[in-house]
């Protein structure tokens, strides 16, 4: 249960040796008496109590039943101060008696961040848009389309950042957060490959500006994202694991998946195999603070079709079976496209229905949003004409979906 460092600290404490290294169990310098410069010999009992409380918390995290009656005997309390702690005292009372307020852990006992603890924008309605499909835009383009997104009551925006680059999206992130919009960064790489440069420094930089969500890699079940090779779970995990560790170590929340339902490798099987791969590598804890990026394009499918908007239901089933719980899901791409003017009304109705559902009580708590791809292409500085017909703003034409979203 305990590391070798924990055992060393405990041995040092009980033999009344130097305690300067015993911070691993006792807490950080902000809470430990070890940082005050006092003579530690007079603090032995307090330190021992703190040590035992820390051990108690770890026991509770491992096997809660073992600690239910731990302090229900005079013998159990006799190692501490029997004047301060009476027999049959709870662990909460022990903390109080020794001036330790609350629990010494900040997350649930199993280390998993609860879905309710993931950041959400103020007045969240789950309405998302994917930004211009370039890794940076001019200030004029940012100003124009942030204003449009705000007018459409958008609360989530997914944007591209060129790998570990710092600076190119500073203005965008500041404008989004100022408008009350949750920025979701897709850390762009040219396919399924490791992120070059100092990813940790980039995460720290944008975390300070208001970015919490960092999508790592994109549609690894597609041949096009694997440089023409067949999709590979091992290749994906080889790149995702170190990137996720860098994101977590620097305060961010790593995005898992971002699978394409139309990929050459089945997205559901790829997800299940990826979770099995994490378990086999001993890295399953990386999902404790992770979220699942989903691409729930709906096309012409009904709202409840699991092949379209409701793809989240199929992912939830895979997660329950493979992981034993459901990850929070953030849609980073989705929607349906109008190829002709005749398609426009049907597309508008379908996307509006999806936005209404994600904002309603009928949506599960793990489904955070729905994101339409894309707000603009050429008009925002995009250079790939392949995306032009999918943009809401294009060649001087504004989709009727824009006006419908502005109305409510």
Q: Write the class of the CATH domain 120-406.
A: alpha beta
4-14 vs 44-62: helix axis angle to the nearest 10?
Answer: 150
Q: Which residue has the higher pLDDT, 26 or 121?
A: 121
d(CA 374, CA 253): 23
Domain ranges within the chain, ordered by starting residue: 4-97, 120-406
Rounded Cα gap, residues 377 and 383, in angstroms:
7
- Model confidence at 396, pLDDT cuts 50, 70, 90, reads confident
| pTM (2 d.p.) | 0.75
Higher pLDDT, 262 or 95: 262
What is the structure's pLDDT at 408? 87
Higher pLDDT, 47 or 326: 326
Region 315-336 average pLDDT: 98
pLDDT tens readout for residues 156-174 = 999 999 999 999 999 999 9
């Amino acid at each position: 249960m305990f590391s070798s460092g924990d055992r060393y600290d405990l041995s040092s404490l009980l033999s009344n040796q130097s305690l300067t290294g015993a911070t691993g169990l006792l807490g950080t310098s902000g809470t430990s008496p070890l940082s005050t410069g006092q003579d530690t010999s007079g603090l032995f009992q307090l330190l021992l109590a703190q040590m035992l409380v820390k051990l108690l918390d770890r026991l509770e995290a491992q096997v809660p039943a073992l600690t239910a009656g731990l302090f229900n005997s005079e013998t159990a309390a006799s190692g501490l101060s029997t004047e301060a702690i009476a027999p049959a005292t709870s662990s909460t009372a022990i903390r109080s008696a020794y001036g330790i307020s609350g629990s010494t852990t900040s997350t649930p006992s199993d280390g998993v961040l609860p879905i309710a603890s993931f950041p959400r924008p103020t007045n969240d309605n789950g309405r998302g848009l994917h930004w211009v499909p370039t890794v940076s835009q001019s200030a004029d383009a940012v100003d124009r389309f942030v204003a449009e997104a705000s007018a459409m009551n958008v609360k989530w925006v997914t944007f591209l950042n060129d790998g570990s680059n710092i600076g190119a999206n500073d203005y965008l992130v500041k404008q989004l957060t100022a408008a009350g919009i949750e920025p979701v960064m897709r850390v762009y790489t040219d396919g399924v490959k490791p992120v070059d440069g100092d990813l940790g420094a980039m995460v720290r930089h944008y975390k300070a500006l208001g970015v919490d969500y960092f999508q790592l890699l994109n549609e690894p079940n597609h041949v096009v994202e694997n440089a023409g090779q067949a999709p590979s779970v091992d290749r994906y995990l080889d790149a995702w694991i170190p990137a996720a560790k860098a994101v977590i170590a620097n305060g961010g929340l790593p995005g898992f998946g971002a699978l394409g339902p139309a990929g050459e490798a089945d997205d559901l099987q790829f997800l299940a195999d990826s979770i099995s791969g994490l378990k086999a590598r001993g890295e399953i804890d990386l999902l404790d603070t992770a979220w699942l990026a989903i691409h729930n394009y709906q096309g012409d499918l009904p709202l409840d079709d699991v092949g379209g908007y409701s793809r989240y239901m199929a992912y939830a089933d895979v997660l329950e079976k493979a992981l034993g719980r459901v990850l929070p899901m953030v849609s980073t791409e989705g929607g349906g496209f109008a190829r002709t003017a005749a398609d426009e009304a049907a597309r508008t109705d379908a996307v509006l229905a999806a936005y209404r559902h994600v904002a309603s009580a009928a949506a599960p708590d793990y489904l955070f949003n729905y994101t339409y791809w894309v707000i603009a292409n050429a008009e925002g500085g995009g250079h790939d004409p392949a995306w032009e017909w999918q943009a809401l703003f294009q060649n001087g034409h504004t989709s009727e979906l824009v006006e419908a979203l502005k109305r409510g």
